[in-house]
Amino acid sequence: MAENDPELLNSVYKEVSEKLGMDTAMEIYRMFKGQQISFPVRFFNPERIRKIIIQEYDGDNIRLLAVKYGYSEKTVRRIISDSLKSGKGEY
């Protein structure tokens, strides 16, 4: 059957089918055909991660938090600093 032949698919659907299976590629096609989609660089919700960083900050673990959540140390420091300025620091 033609719809089960990945060689017939457009490149993006072919790649999806190779990585995730033909059924997933077909479902993505049905859900999003004709739409332009962009995916955020960050997989997780930045606001939720920000709250977790604030909760997990112990005064001496900036490097660990940066590595754990994929942020720079500068960004983690800014998150903590902003939290302290707004009075929402919880460590």
pLDDT (tens digit, 0 to 9) for every residue of the chain, 91 residues total?
A: 456 777 889 999 999 999 999 999 999 999 999 999 999 988 889 999 999 999 999 999 999 999 999 999 999 999 999 998 887 555 4
- Report the Cα–Cα distance between both ends of the chain, in Å, rounded: 60
pLDDT at 87: 73
- pLDDT score of 54: 96
Crossing angle of helices 46-56/62-69, nearest 10°? 150
User: Helix axis angle, 11-20 relative to 22-32, nearest 10°?
Assistant: 130
pTM score: 0.64
Distance CA(1)–CA(22), nearest Å, equals 13
Q: How far apart are the C-alpha atoms of 64 and 57, rounded to whole Å?
A: 9
CA distance 65 to 57: 8
User: What is the per-residue pLDDT across 49-74, written as a single tens digit (0 to 9) for each?
Assistant: 999 999 999 999 999 999 999 999 99
